[in-house]
Structure 1
């Protein structure tokens, strides 16, 4: 865990929550499984197609993901629409595995060319506590070249951070930058690293205490993100890349100031099956070794 003094210091309760989602070496490591439709899409062997998977069937898939994968790590990120409270009420989640609750609903709306996420209806920072979690996550799409401290996105981040502070819930602020309509691939690629860093700076100004960010592309860009975060810990998200690629990204980011990783599809996208027996075999034989490799990467034991 970073010893830098962050511009937005953690309370004692938040420090304890951060410890619960970190390795014994103090670096964040969270299995992300809050996906809903995208998780169904990778279950290729469903008898009537992945679109026909019911909520109850998806609950069982998520429960097995917890049992056979996440329970071997510090923390699991789950959604409040399908997975929780089931995994808590049924004793699926291990005593020593922390629960992070995602607040964002699937999809996004576009207003004046900019993307915005929505809350899962009825879910608040208080709900996180009621569901057995001490940590929340909210996703925001950001274009800091178009959005400053007077923007809707800044106000939304600031207000949620304040609500979580009041409730004693540690909030992970996840940021995704994106290509604007009409923006060329070349222009977006050239701007990408700066957008990740500037988005981090904007969130920190809104009061963010933990950040979940895209890999900005290089060691130099990772160092720039660390500088923009001003001591606020940031973790790399996997963005659906393959496992080996993500391991390399994490190793580079950690060597340049990142404080961990939050991985979803890079761990389990080819390890889910409609059949429970095969699912267990894939999760334990394929996904779990990846989680252990990722733990080595976040703790700086893999170059």
Structure 2
């Protein structure tokens, strides 16, 4: 793919991309940046969970799953700095962190206002040594805040370019007020919105698209989901894209992953589908639960390797030796 070979300005991002990937170019990320919905697995009354308890829970899981993931998606509250300080996020494992602020609701859902976390910047994230910035965008192209969201992403693209760190954008569809999200019309709209979002945000210059699965695997609608996944890949036009797991079961997620890998996705950033059932469990069940998580991560990477393509094909030594010659550093980052 030429996206990462367009000039010396790409080198910083290229290095970061290799750090969040496997040696053969697949992005196998365990997402453990979940906020209050993670705490609720420790205690249904999540307000009683202390910061220390959240950190212990997340870092113990990170340490046990690190050999099975190419990167971790971690939060700035309980797991990013703590994982670096303790060394539980190994030097060989990439670090991605979110820059968004999520509005948690008492019923377990989230508000749909796209916003940046206060006092948390691309510069801080890069300075900490993280390898990528992730931004959730609540997305409806017909929403009143659609243009604001476009401008927000444009600003992040410029900021990430300036600091040479990849930007991962995660557009999330949500139903309009009064709309039944399970209706056939809403499901079709969601699919169309996810495909359109790929082209929309890739066009703004993002580095990685993190997409929901664009369809369902029920009611005989798998063929439509396959077509939509291919449409997302076409809209990405060579920009790497990965799939999130959402709140579905692992069995559903692995079927979805095979479909998007066949369509062109190069990876996953999965959380609950992997570790649900291993958080807040009695110690007597923990060993078996963690082993199940490890097996799931290994199986997902095997699915990528069997069905997908790596995010880029590295040029040969001869190409680089002839094309990148002495003096390149003098031109680096020059306009």
| Residue 70 of structure 2 corresponds to residue 74 of structure 1 | yes
Match of 2:249 among 235, 242, 246: 242
Kept in 1, the 8 Å contact 2:274–2:296? The answer is: yes
Matched with 1:251 is 258
The 2-side partners of 1:242 and 1:177 are apart by 19
Kept in 1, the 8 Å contact 2:21–2:94? The answer is: no
- Residues 218-272 of structure 1 show CA distances to partners (whole Å, capped at 9, x for unaligned) of 1111001111112111101001111111011010001011111110000001111
Higher normalized strand content (fraction of residues): 1
- Change beyond 3 A, Cα 1:118–1:5: closer
1:200-215 equivalences under 5 Å are 200-215=198-213
- How far apart are 1:71 and its partner, in Å? 4.0
The 2-side partners of 1:193 and 1:21 are apart by 28
Higher normalized helix content (fraction of residues): 2
Match of 2:92 among 82, 90, 96: 96
* More deviation, 255-264/100-109: 100-109
1:118-267 equivalences under 5 Å are 118-146=115-143, 151-184=147-180, 185-217=183-215, 218-267=225-274
**Which protein is bigger by CA-based radius of gyration?**
2
- How far apart are 1:186 and its partner, in Å? 2.7
- Residues 89-144 of structure 1 show CA distances to partners (whole Å, capped at 9, x for unaligned) of 111111211111111122179xxxx9322222211011112332121111101112
- How far apart are 1:201 and its partner, in Å? 1.1
The 1-side partners of 2:65 and 2:80 are apart by 17
Q: TM-score, normalised by structure 1?
A: 0.88
- How far apart are 1:78 and its partner, in Å? 0.5
Q: Unaligned 5+ residue runs, structure 2? A: 106-110, 216-224, 309-335
- Residues 47-88 of structure 1 show CA distances to partners (whole Å, capped at 9, x for unaligned) of x85441111100001101210113431100001122121110
Supply the RMSD in Å over aligned alpha carbons.
2.5
- How far apart are 1:29 and its partner, in Å? 1.2
- How far apart are 1:273 and its partner, in Å? 2.1
Match of 1:106 among 102, 107, 110: 102
Q: Secondary structure at the match of 1:115?
A: coil
The 1-side partners of 2:101 and 2:5 are apart by 29
Matched with 2:299 is 293
Matched with 2:39 is 40
Matched with 1:25 is 24
- How far apart are 1:22 and its partner, in Å? 1.6
- How far apart are 1:41 and its partner, in Å? 1.6
- How far apart are 1:8 and its partner, in Å? 8.8
- Change beyond 3 A, Cα 1:267–1:251: same
Q: Secondary structure at the match of 2:112?
A: strand
* More deviation, 260-269/177-186: 177-186
- How far apart are 1:213 and its partner, in Å? 0.5
Number of positions where the alignment pairs a residue of Structure 1 with one of Structure 2:
291
Q: Secondary structure at the match of 1:26?
A: coil
The 2-side partners of 1:144 and 1:230 are apart by 20
Q: Unaligned 5+ residue runs, structure 1? A: none
